[in-house]
Copies of this chain bind each other. A is one copy, B any other.
Amino acid sequence: MPAARDVSGAARPKRVTLRDVAARAGVSLSTASLVFSGRGPVAASTADRVRAAAEQLSYAGPDPLASSLRQGRAGTVAVVVEGRLGDAFADPFARSVMDGLAGELDAIPAGMLLLARVPGDDARLLGQLAVAACDGVVFPLSGPRTDPAVDLIVGRGIPIVGAGSPVDPRVPQIRVDERGASAAMTRHLTTLGHRNIGHVTMPLTPGAMTSVATAADVADAVYGDARGRALGVLDVAPAARVVQAASLEIAAGMTAARLLLDTAPDARPTAVVAQSDLLAAGVIRAAGELGIRVPEDLSVTGFDGLDLPWLDYDLTTVVQDGRAKGRALGELIARAMAGQSVSSQAFPTQLRVGTTTAVARP
């Protein structure tokens, strides 16, 4: 057979395979395989000969694809993040979850295939999942409550785990009691005497714009954690005015906050529950620009428990350990991939009172 030629016309030498190495070392293909996998008993002298042959032929080790096919495992876990990559990782909490998850995947060991659900192009994610070589799929971040990808992945016989979404009996979860934690936070504020409470939600639906949200909007929310947290607020403060932020960024929190705060002082909420720390930072910033003092005139709360050194406050927030959450997800998918049956687990949060909440002014 002549050497293969690629489009550019350059001669491409035939690839060296384990067969070539075995031939050169004067052993059988199977023995050579045993040397590289270290799985069987091989005489030291034989092993050396094989390795020497590999060296001479500059054989770089067994082809991952062939190896994977034979072994029936891709050695890879698909991880789906919500939104474009640059946005998905803008949230420090998301980063800490991913960090913990990455550590566990390393330990399996498994590679991490990163897939993004680009807003407005759901088909792309489905297509990628259909052809992706992976042994498991993780949804580590808040995503849509229902997801057609689940059918597809289950159809391929691959285990899935999530962090609250997609909601499906076939998807074991590391589950945070968003609603309960959010209700507890709101109760903290009512206990301080706040009666007029505003709420800034994360986006309730993909492509959300900054807007006032009705109870129906909340109930119909696509994103499960935003929905849960909003419901928690409404459980305790049914009259709360709810504003949806357009993204998780500080600027979005500012914009949303203005909808609540830029009004007559006596109609203005005395407390704002934000669904994330970054949104809370935006609220505080917007308050500052409007001359509203925190916490004297306005109490502000967040969610996640981030370390925000540049914030001049110690934010009252709901602390969850993102890295631990990521690790828990990693352990869950590892067990599922090992064929063990796994079930959803509760993940703890803790209310931490800082300097951004105070008793309501009389």
Contacts and interface: CB of A to CB of B under 8 A. Distances in A.
Given A86-B323, A111-B115, A310-B250, A69 B65 contact: yes
Contact of A132 (B98, B111, B254): B111
A342 to B, nearest CB: 11
Contacts of A361: none
A61 B131 contact: yes
Nearest to A254: B309
A347 interface: no
B95 A90 contact: yes
A223 B355 CA distance: 40
A118 to B, nearest CB: 8
Interface of A: 6-8, 10, 15, 58, 60-61, 63-69, 74-76, 84-87, 89-90, 92, 95-96, 98-99, 102-103, 106, 109, 111-116, 118, 124, 128, 130-133, 152, 155-157, 250-251, 254, 281, 285, 309-310, 323, 338-341
18 contacts: A64-B132, A65-B69, A75-B131, A84-B99, A84-B102, A84-B103, A86-B95, A86-B96, A86-B98, A86-B99, A89-B89, A89-B98, A106-B124, A111-B114, A112-B113, A112-B115, A113-B114, A114-B114
